[in-house]
Structure 1
Amino acid sequence: MTNRFSDCASLLKDHHILQTLSEFSPEFVGSIPIGVDLPDSDIDIICELKPSLLKVLESFSSYPNFQLSERVLANVPSLICRFRLGSEKVEIVAQRFPPKKQIAYLHMIIEEKILKEKGETFRLSVMEKKKAGKSTEAAFAELLGLEGDPYTSLLGYEKK
């Protein structure tokens, strides 16, 4: 069995993706770094949105399935860049504040802590919920018995 995180990190390194984004403090986040990814999970990268970022993201336009769009995520205006890197899908999300303050990073840190506390059986339960179509956050929230919006309630779980 291969370690998907290591494989994806090597792929990003081989294509200089994080190096290209270095001025925007990129962070590899999401389900892959914490080991709750499915085979079709994206490589998620978050970074800080600065005026020069658009030109840098456009430098990825030679990759297959390149798309650049703007969306509001969790009430935050975001610039989203998607493309394929070999067999992997990459999604870069940029917001106007440092990545370590972005919700994707905060969720990953909380989820990683929960996985360490609850162990392998819990991780496998998360994977089963995800295979059934739940998002990572919804799977965690359901298994933890959290009420309301899973994205918000998961952030609140950290404060307990």
Structure 2
Amino acid sequence: MPASVQHFDTIDYLKTGSPIQQQAWQVLTEYRILEQLASFSPILTGTIPIDIAVPGSDLDMVCCYNNINVFMDTLVAVFSMQEQFLIKQTIVKGIETVICNFFIRDFEVEVFGQSRPVKDQEAYRHMIVEYLLLQKHGEAFRRQVIDLKLQGIKTEPAFAQLLNLPGDPYVAMLNLYDEMIRT
């Protein structure tokens, strides 16, 4: 893993980032979200960490649990009083998954948990490859991604479109991650 992505292991970088990153840092610290999820190795993923958020972008917390019931009980105990709290257990790509959504101030928060390491989960891998591509292609490319997102195109399809990646954009981005991390 490139050293340049290690800063995503904490949220310290948000404190001095863009205005939306600073707002995210305030919410995450004021409500102690990472502290309360600490036993599940939480990492903030998605568009806010890599500064391509658009209005309505949420805070995506990716977690790893050893015991699904303990994880779900923790989410209910800690966040059920938040607006529009919803928790569900489902299967994503053959893996038992918990998805919990709620609102805090101006942010929707999604907590996504699986029983595999956070850095092996697709959300983390997508964020890392997107970050590396943004670093490689510069500010004009970042603006193009944001412009596509403002038109309603999801993040991975926006990257795939700009890079002319064929097939399923989510799979194509994971394949690109594998290629970029190996080099």
- Superposition TM-score, scaled by structure 2 size: 0.83
In the comparison of the two structures, how many residue pairs are matched? 160
Gap regions ≥5 residues in structure 2 = 1-16
CA contact (8 A) 1:147 1:153 kept: yes
Which moves more between the two structures, 142-151 or 66-75? 66-75
- Read off the aligned partner of 1:138 and give its amino acid letter: P
Corresponding residue for 1:57?
Answer: 75
Matches of 2:21 and 2:80 in 1, distance apart?
Answer: 24
Give 3-state SS (helix, strand or coil) of 2:49's partner: helix
Corresponding residue for 1:88?
Answer: 107
CA contact (8 A) 2:18 2:51 kept: no
Matches of 1:76 and 1:6 in 2, distance apart?
Answer: 33
- Superposition TM-score, scaled by structure 1 size: 0.95
Give 3-state SS (helix, strand or coil) of 1:38's partner: coil
Alpha-carbon deviation of 1:77?
2.5
Corresponding residue for 1:20?
Answer: 36
Structural RMSD (CA): 1.5
Corresponding residue for 1:9?
Answer: 25
- Read off the aligned partner of 1:13 and give its amino acid letter: T
CA contact (8 A) 1:49 1:79 kept: no
* Identical aligned residues as a percent: 35
Gap regions ≥5 residues in structure 1 = none
Identify which of 105, 122, 133 aligns with 1:103.
122
Corresponding residue for 1:114?
Answer: 133
Matches of 1:154 and 1:55 in 2, distance apart?
Answer: 33
Higher helix share: 2
